[in-house]
Amino acid sequence: MDIELWKKIDEEEPIPAHIQEKMAELKAKGKILPEEKYIKRPTMIEGMRKAGKINTAVLDEVGKYIHVGMNTQEIDDIVSKFTKEHGAICAPLHYDGFPKSVCTSINEEVCHGIPTRLKKLHDGDIINVDCTTILDGYYADASRMFYVGNVSEERKRLVEETKKCLELGIAAAQPWNTIGDIGYAINNHARSCGYSVVVDLGGHGVGLEFHEDPFVSHVGRKGEGMVLVPGMTITIEPMINAGRASVVIDPINDWTIYTKDKSDSAQWEHTILITEEGNEIITY
């Protein structure tokens, strides 16, 4: 976002006094607080909601067409066309050199899979489609898992328990809780299912930029890490492996992340707003 526009919104819509007082009180106690620029104001939140509606609709559109035999470039084409038709921009395209409009990660690919006409979906695959939309300078980010054809019960369980991890992480993301509370809830459930949580990657702040502070680890301790202040907007996006947590990066494209032991991986992601009453899902 343009710095002058941000300053104008900051002047017209300051952080409420009672929230500033609470932040000052917690900071005096040694707690970690976000910078004020990461606490979104009503105008910014409304902009994110609008971007989120398109982002959610894009993933709905992808879901209509997932089928055995399609290649992942076809998914990229759907995302690119739908986003443009709705006056928005695909954030991943050219971000740090990423060559496509969306990430498509299959089976043992944890994240950042690059769409290509050479990679087809096979019966029994699971695929994560990760979409980030920019509308009028505001970002919204989400990903979903999709089944391709006849999927094994083992893979279905991984996908569903990963979704449960996300839901538990969101439930823990209450105002004045901490990032550690989110990670604790996710890791505790994943381990109870016999799975592992990827620790090298995580969620993040989002809204005015693609990636903002804080880093949202999906492993943590209760009460530790940055405090969740009303107005913060973050992604929670647990990457859960059926095997070990270790991952490797593709040495050729330098983007795609795989499980080191070639076990399956699943991920769900929502962007949420921390409110004074709880939280709100911006896009899913």
pLDDT tens-digit readout, 86-100: 999 999 999 999 999
Retrieve residue 159's tokens: 């996908």
Residues of the chain with pLDDT > 70, as a percent, come to 100
Per-residue pLDDT, averaged over 236-241, amounts to 98
Backbone angles phi, psi at 257, to 5 degrees: -105, 130
pLDDT of residue 80: 98
pLDDT of residue 157: 98
Per-residue pLDDT, averaged over 148-156, amounts to 98
pLDDT tens-digit readout, 106-132: 999 999 999 999 999 999 999 999 999
At 8 the three-state DSSP class reads helix
Residue 197: pLDDT above 90?
A: yes
Q: At 253, is the pLDDT very low, low, confident or very high (cuts 50, 70, 90)?
A: very high
pLDDT tens-digit readout, 164-196: 999 999 999 999 999 999 999 999 999 999 999
pLDDT of residue 153: 98
- 274, HSE (Cβ side, Cα atoms, 13 Å): 27
Q: At 3, is the pLDDT very low, low, confident or very high (cuts 50, 70, 90)?
A: confident
DSSP per residue, 143-211: EEEEE-SS--HHHHHHHHHHHHHHHHHHHH--TT-BHHHHHHHHHHHHHHTT-EE--S--EEE-SSSSS
Per-residue CA distances from 59 to 24, 106, 152, 224, 279 (Å): 40, 16, 23, 33, 22
pLDDT tens-digit readout, 47-76: 999 999 999 999 999 999 999 999 999 999
Residue extents of the structural domains in the chain: 40-283
Alpha carbon distance 266, 228 (integer Å): 26
Q: Which CATH number fits domain 40-283: 3.30.70.20, 3.90.230.10, 3.30.360.10, 3.40.109.10?
A: 3.90.230.10
Alpha carbon distance 218, 66 (integer Å): 28
Q: At 227, is the pLDDT very low, low, confident or very high (cuts 50, 70, 90)?
A: very high
Residue 2: pLDDT above 80?
A: no
Q: Hey, what's the torsion of the CAs at 23, 24, 28, 34, to 10 degrees?
A: 50
Q: Sheet with 233-236: list strands edge to edge.
A: 212-216, 203-205, 233-236, 270-274, 279-283
Average pLDDT, the chain: 97
